[in-house]
Amino acid sequence: MIAPVSAAGWYLYTIAADQYASTVAFSVRKEEVASPIEMFGGIADVATSGSSDSDILYEFIRSQEMVEALDRRIGLSGLFARAMNDPVFAYDPSGTIEDLLDYWGFMVRVTYDSATELIEVRALAFAPEDARLITTGIFEESVRLVEELSAIAQDDAIAFAEAEVERAIERLKGAREAMTGFRSRTQIVDPSADLQGQMGLLSTLEQQLAEALISADLLRESTRTDDPRITQAELRVQVIEARIADERRKLGRDGEGEDYATRLAEYERLAVDREFAEQAYTAALAAYDQALAEARRKSRYLAAYIKPTLAQASEFPRKEVLLGLVAFFLTSLWAIAVLVFYSVRDRR
C-alpha cells in the first residue's frame, strides 16, 4: 500500500501540471415595461410560464455548443492540451468533441442559484491567462445567447403586435361599414337626434292643439252655434289632431315594419361596436409602438458582478486532497482484502 501511495505522491508533486483558476459571475437582467393595453380598460397581460433565461444560460454553458464555439474562437482543445507531460490531467488533442465535452465538465464548474438566478463559472487551465481567456469567452458567448433570446422575443412581440393591428383595422372597418349600411337603409344619420326632433314637433303640435281647443270653446261660449268661425276653429283642431296622429305613426312603424325603438336599439349597438373597435385599434397601435421601442433598446442584458479573474498562484490540482483520497481508497481496498482473506480462511 505504501508503494502506490508513494507513487501517487511522486506523480502529483513532480509531474502533475499546475492548474490556475479563473472565475466569472453574472446574471440576466430584464427591463420590465408596463403594457400600454393596461391604459385601456385595465386589461392585464396574460402571463406565460416556462424556463427563465438564466435556466437556459446555465444549460448552454454546459452544452456542446459552448465547447464548439470556444474551440473555434480560442482553440480550447489546444489550451487544455498545453501540459503534454501530464498524461493524467492534460487533455489529449486527438480526442473527439464528445471527449472534449467530458473534459470540459471536469475543468469547468458552473454554479447556479435558482432562487437569485445568479450564475458563477470557474474555469481551470494550465496558465492563468488561458483560464481567464476561457471565462472571458464563456461570458462573451453568454452575452451573444442573451442577445439572440432578446431578439427572438422582440421579433415575436413585433409580429404579434402587427397581427393585432391588422385585426383591429379589419374590425374597425367592419364596424364603420355596418354603421354606414344602417344610415343608408334608414336615411337617418343619428336616430337619437332625429327622435328628439320628432318629439319637439309633437310637443309643438300638442301645444297648438291645446290653444285651438281653447279658442273653439271660447267661440262656442261667446257666439252663435252657426258662426263660421266655430266651424273654422273645429277644422283647425281636426287638422292639428290629424297631424299629431300622423307624427305618432311615424314614431311607430314605417314602411319596412321598423319602429323607432328598434332603430334606436340597433343604432346604439352599432355605435358601441364602433367605439370598442376604435379603442381596440388605439390600444393595438400603442402596443405596436411599444414593441418597436423595445426592439430599439436592449430589454435583456448580461450583468457581470464578478469579471473574469486572473490567478496569481496555482490552487489545483489539490495535491493533499488527492493524495489523501488515494491513501483512503487503497487503505479501504486493503482492509476489504484482509477481511475477505480471513473470512475465507475461517470457513475452511
Please list, in sequence order, all residues whose beta carbon lies within 8 angstroms of the beta carbon of residue 145, skipping any fewer than 6 positions away: 56, 57, 60
Per DSSP, 44 falls in state P
CB atoms within 10 A of CB 270: 18
Q: Are residues 104 and 239 in the same domain?
A: no
Any domain includes 160: yes
Is residue 40 a part of any domain in this protein? Answer: yes
Same domain, 220 and 284: yes
* Whether 132 and 29 share a structural domain: yes
pLDDT digits (tens, 9 = 90+) for 208-243: 888 888 888 887 888 877 778 888 888 888 888 888
Statement: residue 99 has pLDDT above 70: yes
Domain co-membership, 157 together with 12: yes
CA end-to-end distance (rounded Å), the chain: 27
The verdict on residue 345 lying in a domain is: no
Which domain covers residue 309, as residue numbers? Answer: 2-165+298-337
| Shared domain check, 260 and 209 | yes
- List the grid coordinates of 67: 465547447
Cα three-residue angle 80-84-88, rounded to 5 degrees: 80
Q: How many domains does the chain have?
A: 2
Asked if residue 238 is part of any domain, the answer here is yes
Kindly report the pTM of this predicted structure. 0.61
Q: What is the pLDDT of residues 144-173, one digit of tens each?
A: 998 888 888 788 888 888 888 999 999 999
Long-range Cβ pairs for the range 332-337 (8 Å, 24+): 334/1
Q: Examine residue 317 and say whether the peptide bond preceding it is cis (omega within 30 degrees of 0).
A: yes
Spatial separation of the C-alpha atoms in residues 172 and 298, rounded to whole Å: 33
| 262 in any annotated domain | yes
The pLDDT of residue 254: 47
Residues 12, 308 contacting (CB under 8 angstroms): no
Do 160 and 193 lie in one domain? The reply is no
Which backbone phi and psi does 83 adopt, to 5 degrees? -90, 75
- The answer to whether position 26 is within a domain reads yes
Indicate whether 347 belongs to any domain. Answer: no
